[in-house]
Amino acid sequence: MTAPAPVRSGRISCLGRAELDITDQDVIHDVLDSEQPDLIINAAAYTAVDRAEDPAHQDAARAVNTDGAAYLAQAAAQAEIPFIHISTDYVYGQRDAVESDGGGEPANPTDASEPFVGGHAPLRVDTPTHAQSVYGRTKLAGDRAVQAAFENTDVPCVIVRTAWVYSGLALPDHHDFVSTMMRLEQQSRGDDSPHVRVVNDQWGSPTNVFDLARGLWELSGASSATINFPAILAPGSVVHCTGTGACTWWDVARQVFAEVGADPDRVIPISSEDYPTAAARPHWSVLDNSSWLALGLTPLPAWEDGVHRAVTGVC
């Protein structure tokens, strides 16, 4: 895939926590004064989902996911800077589990009118939120704070909810699922029992981070001379953007193994009950991307294609 053309006579500043601590309002204003951005994309988040359940870390999660999002959005709205805020499927919380033996994978993961296995359909932007983990609740509070900051303004602001984001070989030290499966496959080679156990009762739409970045670029209209969000979007609108298709974590792990030339049958399916975690994972996190497509935006590639490129290092 060819990346969109860059902003004419522009530049992209990628600022980490060291350069822009969004929990510090003074730092935010200093950076905005220095950078003078035409667009802000807030991808900052406290994403240690299980650690956030520990009372010792909940304030840190809230500081970034809720307060930091609010501070950055308020500063952007005041300076009339268009704003894209990245959010998560975790805001929708737990739905009834999909039966793992209910007849295979869903037929049409992009069409909310088509029920999935067990009668499930993709989660729409107007699906009631029911965040159950600390991570999900703090992100949902951040979404609402962003919307409040841009309420009664004409400044473009979009909340983009995505899910199951991974990078793979391009960022091999990251702890996303694809990168982790690649490491586990290598580490288990030669073992007496070279198997990896992965849950097969959690459904979602894996999203290649580079595909997501291209999508955000297109959403912003940044390939033109000026930032130009779709006109039909009201400030604070929510859209969904994920890889196309749906699968379980077990399906993803099998593809990762196959892509590196390993036997996918080394990936053993287990239930979520067999792999308890501090934070409950939603069994159903398939997002309906019709809100994205309705804007005339390009659908992200199929999740299988995204995983293939992540494993082979092709962005």
Helix/strand/coil percentages in the chain, nearest 5: 40, 15, 50
pLDDT at 67 over 50: yes
Q: What is the mean pLDDT of residues 274-286?
A: 94
In angstroms, the CA 161 to CA 89 distance is 6
Reported confidence tier of residue 233, pLDDT bands at 50, 70, 90: confident
What's the whole-number average pLDDT of the chain? 88
In angstroms, the CA 167 to CA 311 distance is 9
Q: What is the mean pLDDT of residues 223-243?
A: 80
Q: How distant is the alpha carbon of residue 64 from its chain centre?
A: 16
Reported confidence tier of residue 234, pLDDT bands at 50, 70, 90: confident
pLDDT at res. 223: 58
The set of residues, in sequence order, having a beta carbon less than 8 Å from that of 252 and lying 6+ positions away, is: 164, 177, 178, 181, 206, 303, 307
pLDDT at 93 over 50: yes
pLDDT at res. 17: 93
> What's at 248, amino acid-wise?
T
pLDDT at res. 103: 36
Q: What is the mean pLDDT of residues 9-22?
A: 88
In angstroms, the CA 115 to CA 107 distance is 9
* Predicted structure pTM score: 0.89
CATH of 5-100+112-312, one of 3.40.640.10, 3.40.50.720, 3.40.50.1970, 3.30.420.40: 3.40.50.720
pLDDT at res. 95: 64
pLDDT at 222 over 80: no
Q: What is the mean pLDDT of residues 107-133?
A: 71
Q: Flag the least confident range among 5-9, 46-50, 103-107, 191-195.
A: 103-107
Nearest to 248 by CA among 202, 302, 180: 202
In angstroms, the CA 254 to CA 276 distance is 21
In angstroms, the CA 131 to CA 23 distance is 22
- The neighbour count for residue 111, using CB atoms within 10 Å, is 14
In angstroms, the CA 7 to CA 248 distance is 37
In angstroms, the CA 90 to CA 286 distance is 11
pLDDT at 129 over 80: yes
Nearest to 207 by CA among 234, 168, 173, 174: 168
pLDDT at res. 110: 43
Measured between alpha carbons, how far is residue 244 from residues 12, 53, 240, 294, 305 in Å? 27, 30, 11, 15, 9
Q: Which of 71, 90, 92, 135 is catalytic?
A: 135
The DSSP output letter for 107 is S
Whether residue 135 lies in the annotated active site:
yes
For 152-210, how does the pLDDT look when each residue is reduced to its tens digit (9 = 90+)? 999 999 999 999 999 998 776 778 999 999 999 988 887 776 799 999 999 999 999 99
